[in-house]
Amino acid sequence: MSTVRRRWQGSVWLCAAAMSAGMGQSLIAQADPALIDLVVKPGTPLRVALDDRVVVKRAGQTITGMIVEPVYAYDRIAIPVGTKVTGHIAKLEPPPKIARVSAYLNGDFTPFRRVTLQFDSLLLDGRSTPIETVVTGSVENVQRLVAGGPASSKKGAARTEIDRAREEIEHQVKGAISSVTQPGRMGRLKEMLIHQLPYHPQRLIKGTVFVAELTSPLSRGAVVPIEDASAGAPPASILNARLITALDSSKTPRESPVTAVLTAPLFSADHQLVLPEGTELKGTVTFSRQARHFHRNGQLRFLIERVEMPERSAEPMLASLYSVQTASSARLAVDDEGGVAATNSKARFVAPALAILAMSTVADPQGAEDAGDVTGTSASIGKAGSRTFTGFLGLGVAGAVLSHFSKPVAIGLGAVGVVHTVYSSVFAKGQEVSLPASTPIQVQLAAGPAASP
């Protein structure tokens, strides 16, 4: 009887322990919401700016830079701005023969080698974290073009919420991009003059932003996700994204599909999650015009029409382009309706005017003679300067030297320079609007009902 009682008591204790353990696990599950893994997915671009000028010497040469745009994973920052990045020159390749011949004709006898970079590690939380990347592009002198221009230019106008949001975004972008000081006007002029020398070192400019796509995932641990919003996004919200579809006014016709992906989560006014990072934005090109001769430039416009997230059906969302990040040399402008157009330089007629003036000076039969002229010192100096200038327009630095060997050579090089500058400044085809894949953009939600997912 005692044996049966002991077995019965043991069974009771086991059942009680099991019930207690089950209740404990249930309470823990209720107290701790499900965690999510913060993972930066393969294909995510890191925007890395060189923190110093690099003179290209050899493959394997170490390079350093820093992250200039935050990288998000789901609902929070995974790689903050200012994170140090280390890499190396992976490969140096000679330029194509056509590029070499073109460089020689322009008086450049040290044409650049094609440089392939690779970034290998990030300094996160005080530790070096290895990464695997492939560099897909680079941009010098980065700028962000905002629709309608800076809000500060609206002197005397009422400051709306959109104006204040615009100023805040411009301040944030300026701070991120200028975290690595880029060359000013004098620095760019110096680089241009060095580049014009027949023999010069190949250099990567400080502040150049490289797009390095991750080829393997980067885990940043597990976190409790931010609560999903019950309401939609506030009207006129601005979303940070990057293009998946490359757009070009010469190749992308009207009604072509456009895909972008959010690079930062969108929150409601009370900081609840509306759209996580990685949400796809789908849209359509609504206007496209190719560039034409006489410097009529290309134009492009598109609209975002819906959002798509995993395990959810597509939902309507109307948004237009608010800003785009590009090189200053691209000479693009964004209008108030989100259209992008290339712009012409206001100084494009200066070169042909100077070329014609210098050509007329060199060809003037009443000017100082080529040799033995000791009376017209000022005229001789002026003619020598004109020869140098016409030769430079015709064949670069080499032409500037050759133009002093004889007057016919100077006139011939001057004629080439005049034809080239007049054609390129007046008759040539305008510039296309080109937005490569991974171009950082911002889109602004419409104020209507379709704005809220």
pLDDT given for residue 8 in this prediction: 42
First to last CA, the chain: 70
Q: Give me the CATH number covering residue 109.
A: 2.40.128.260
pLDDT given for residue 151 in this prediction: 39
Judgement on whether residues 324 and 263 belong to the same structural domain of the protein = yes
Judgement on whether residues 370 and 337 belong to the same structural domain of the protein = no
Name the domain count of the chain: 3
pLDDT given for residue 195 in this prediction: 62
pLDDT at 90 over 70: yes
Judgement on whether residues 423 and 434 belong to the same structural domain of the protein = no
Phi-psi region of 94 (alpha: psi -120 to 50; beta: other; left: phi over 0): beta
Judgement on whether residues 125 and 235 belong to the same structural domain of the protein = no
Residue 416 domain boundaries: 350-427
312 lies in some domain: yes
Judgement on whether residues 356 and 314 belong to the same structural domain of the protein = no
pLDDT given for residue 368 in this prediction: 44
pLDDT in tens, 141-170: 888 888 875 433 444 443 454 454 445 444
Phi-psi region of 413 (alpha: psi -120 to 50; beta: other; left: phi over 0): alpha
Judgement on whether residues 357 and 328 belong to the same structural domain of the protein = no
Measured CA to CA, the distance from residue 342 to residue 145 in angstroms comes to 12
pLDDT at 389 over 80: no
166 lies in some domain: no
Judgement on whether residues 320 and 401 belong to the same structural domain of the protein = no
69 lies in some domain: yes
Judgement on whether residues 294 and 265 belong to the same structural domain of the protein = yes
pLDDT in tens, 319-358: 999 999 998 888 899 998 899 999 988 788 887 888 788 7
Encode 350-367: b = buried (16+ Cβ within 10 Å), e = exposed.
Answer: ebbebbeebbebbeeeeb
Six token digits for residue 155? 């002197």
pLDDT in tens, 100-134: 777 766 667 776 788 999 999 999 989 999 999 99
151 lies in some domain: no
pLDDT in tens, 220-254: 988 888 888 777 778 888 999 999 999 999 999 99
- Give the E-state strand segments of 125-230 in sequence order: 127-130, 133-139, 142-146, 203-204, 209-214, 218-223
pLDDT at 378 over 90: no
Judgement on whether residues 279 and 216 belong to the same structural domain of the protein = no
pLDDT at 97 over 70: yes
Mean pLDDT score, 381-410 = 69
Q: Give the residue carrying structure tokens 């690595």.
A: 180
Judgement on whether residues 48 and 97 belong to the same structural domain of the protein = yes
pLDDT in tens, 403-448: 777 778 777 777 887 888 888 888 889 999 999 999 999 999 987 5
20 lies in some domain: no
Neighbour tally for 75: CB within 10 Å:
21
Neighbour tally for 392: CB within 10 Å:
22
89, 59 Cβ separation under 8 angstroms: yes
What is the side-by-side strand order in the sheet with 127-130? 127-130, 114-124, 84-93, 62-67, 45-50, 209-214, 133-139
290 lies in some domain: yes
Judgement on whether residues 423 and 446 belong to the same structural domain of the protein = no
Judgement on whether residues 235 and 88 belong to the same structural domain of the protein = no
Last residue of a domain, one of 191, 220, 249: 220
pLDDT given for residue 13 in this prediction: 43
Mean pLDDT score, 267-286 = 92
pLDDT at 40 over 60: yes
288 lies in some domain: yes
97-101, 280-284, 326-330, 385-389: range with highest mean pLDDT: 280-284
pLDDT given for residue 193 in this prediction: 60
104 lies in some domain: yes
- pTM attached to this predicted model: 0.75
More confident residue, 90 or 402: 90
CA nearest neighbour of 326 among 143, 195, 169, 160 = 143
pLDDT in tens, 53-68: 898 999 999 999 999 9
**Mean pLDDT over each residue of the chain, to the nearest integer:** 78
More confident residue, 191 or 250: 250
- Give the E-state strand segments of 216-351 in sequence order: 218-223, 238-243, 247-248, 257-262, 266-267, 273-275, 280-289, 299-308, 315-327, 332-334, 340-342
Last residue of a domain, one of 167, 202, 220: 220
